[in-house]
Amino acid sequence: MCSIMGVCGSGYTKDFTKAQFEECFGRTLSRGPDMSRVIETELGLLAFHRLAIMDLSETGMQPFERDGNALVCNGEIYGFRKIKEELEKKYRFCGDSDCEILLPMYEEYGLEMFRMLDAEFALILFDGKRKRYIAARDPIGIRPLFYGYTKSGTILFASEAKNLVGLTERIVPFPPGHYYVDGKFYCYNDIADVPAICHDSLETVCRNIREKLIRGVEKRLDADAPLGFLLSGGLDSSLVCSIAAKILQKPIRTFAIGMSEDAIDLKYAKEVADYIGS
């Protein structure tokens, strides 16, 4: 899950201290209880609470820094190993975190990197060469990100709105599928934009849905931490758990939540769990 926060400009000292920033960031420690770090850049602060999933060692800890640039990201980068393999021809990596590829990607592709990502993410990046900050959020808005401005006009970003309470008067959700740079927001992926109507047969559509669902589950199974699955007994979670169990070829750990009275979800979740052997 993780938590990120950044104040993007040295002028923030007119509005609050670093200690006040850290106190506000501490409000979301539960999102990343494994390790925390705050660094000063040339033009502000970047902060990270870590929930370790990929590369559980110290090398997976953020903020990542490279050649004067720095980055914090709450996200999962799917298929990162293939991208990393290509980048390794030019860049050296310290660990095996999926998010470590982001700074080399930025150096290699610039802002076009966001269109290339198959990921759910919210990130803040400091470009030390151009002396600017960049923030971005995945096209669906799976990972949370909020922003606001201090009284002196410095922009702040954070994973949760409560991080910004007391630092800015107005808190706004960061728009999904956008990146922020040089004071403006730009759309890099609008999922509501449909360039063409699908005329495939029903059989083809159903086959494509099945294949996409399987691939969608499979790419989310890449983790260094133990995997767990929420199972309600409904169609969606039952399909996901069944596919995962088949791919992994071993019993998976499923979790269900239900009321003590009329616990219909628990009834069906147990039936599915018994069926797939979780």
Q: Distance between CA 218 and CA 249 in Å, rounded?
A: 12
Tokens linked to 10? 């040295």
CA distance readout (Å), 89 to 54, 70, 85, 86, 109: 22, 21, 7, 6, 15
pLDDT of 183? 95
Q: Write the CATH number for 71.
A: 3.60.20.10
Same domain, 85 and 149: yes
Please identify every residue annotated as catalytic: 2
Are 60 and 25 in contact, with CB atoms under 8 Å apart?
no
pLDDT of 80? 95
pLDDT of 195? 86
**Which of 145, 160, 187 lies at the terminal end of a domain, its last residue?**
187
Same domain, 69 and 108: yes
Q: How many domains, the chain?
A: 2
Q: Distance between CA 104 and CA 64 in Å, rounded?
A: 11
Instruction: Count the neighbouring beta carbons within 10 Å of the beta carbon of residue 228.
Output: 10
Model pTM greater than 0.85? Answer: yes
pLDDT of 173? 98
* 102 belongs to a structural domain: yes
Which stretches of the chain drop beneath a pLDDT of 70? none
Are 49 and 1 in contact, with CB atoms under 8 Å apart?
no
pLDDT of 151? 94
Q: Which domain holds residue 20?
A: 3-187
Query: pLDDT digit string (tens) for 11-55?
Result: 899 999 999 999 999 999 999 999 999 999 999 999 999 999 999
Residue listed under structure tokens 């047969």: 201
* 192 belongs to a structural domain: no
Same domain, 209 and 146: no
Same domain, 77 and 155: yes
* 127 belongs to a structural domain: yes
